């Protein structure tokens, strides 16, 4: 597994990248790829870290597991490649964006526009076997991504952490002052109507960014 991370992240994650357990994780992922399709494709496991350097992180949105269908996952939580139909959770995010701040769905599901503005779109697990959600859970990714969350939480400049759903909410223990935590239901079809729709996450995030002297995020995705 290619672990050529940007230097800004490598400085903060060196202890994890050099640890025996991370080498075991890397060997597991390589073996899984040798046995069959694994998503995202090799070399894209760390897209979120590559698109959003450590010193640029202003918002962290935490997902759980990559999409497990062909051509969907590309290393950003909730995002899919251009040309791929947005899965249900992402479609619900677009519905909230439309009702909350009037963003017209862009005709694609790529969230790179957010990542390049300092929104770290981090999944807790960074790979998955084709057609088997959570198939790489408990193999070591959570230990690595917890280290990413701790590294962001160590920043002295305030960051907005977005924890959608019960799984993400458990990570609150890793975060402390001076950061802001926004929690709500997950945007999946099972829970979106029970606290995600109407929770105004994008307004809340921008309000908090502006309160701490940061520029707001342009949430409306451009057409490609």
Catalytic residue among 18, 65, 130, 157: 65
Contact 183, 169 (CB under 8 A): yes
CA atoms within 13 A on the CB side of 167: 16
Q: Which two tokens stand for residue 104?
A: 């017209």
CB-facing half-sphere around the CA of 70: CA atoms within 13 A: 2
Given CA atoms 137, 138, 139, 145 in this order, what sign does their dihedral have?
positive
- 65 catalytic? Reply is yes
Total H helices, total E strands in the chain: 8, 6
- DSSP secondary structure of 77-130: TT---TTSPPPHHHHHHHHHHHHHH-PPP-SS---HHHHTTTEEEEESS--EET
* Catalytically annotated residues: 65
């Amino acid at each position: 597994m290619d672990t050529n991370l940007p230097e800004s992240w490598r400085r903060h994650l060196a202890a994890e990248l050099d640890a025996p357990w991370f080498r075991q994780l890397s060997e597991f992922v390589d073996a899984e790829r040798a046995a069959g399709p694994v998503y995202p494709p090799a070399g894209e496991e760390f897209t979120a870290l590559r698109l959003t350097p450590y010193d640029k992180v202003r918002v962290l949105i935490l997902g759980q597991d990559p999409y497990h269908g062909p051509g969907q996952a590309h290393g950003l939580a909730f995002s899919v490649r251009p040309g791929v139909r947005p899965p249900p959770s992402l479609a619900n995010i677009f519905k909230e964006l439309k009702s909350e701040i009037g963003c017209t769905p862009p005709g694609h599901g790529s969230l790179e526009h957010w990542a390049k503005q300092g929104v770290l779109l981090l999944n807790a697990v960074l790979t998955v076997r084709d057609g088997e959600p959570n198939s790489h859970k408990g193999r070591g990714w959570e230990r690595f991504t917890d280290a990413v969350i701790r590294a962001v939480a160590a920043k002295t400049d305030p960051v907005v952490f977005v924890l959608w759903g019960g799984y993400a909410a458990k990570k609150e223990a890793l975060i402390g002052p001076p950061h802001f935590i926004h929690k709500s239901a997950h945007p999946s079809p099972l829970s979106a109507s029970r606290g995600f729709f109407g929770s105004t996450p994008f307004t809340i995030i921008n309000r908090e960014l502006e309160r701490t002297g940061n520029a707001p995020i342009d949430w409306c995705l451009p057409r490609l």
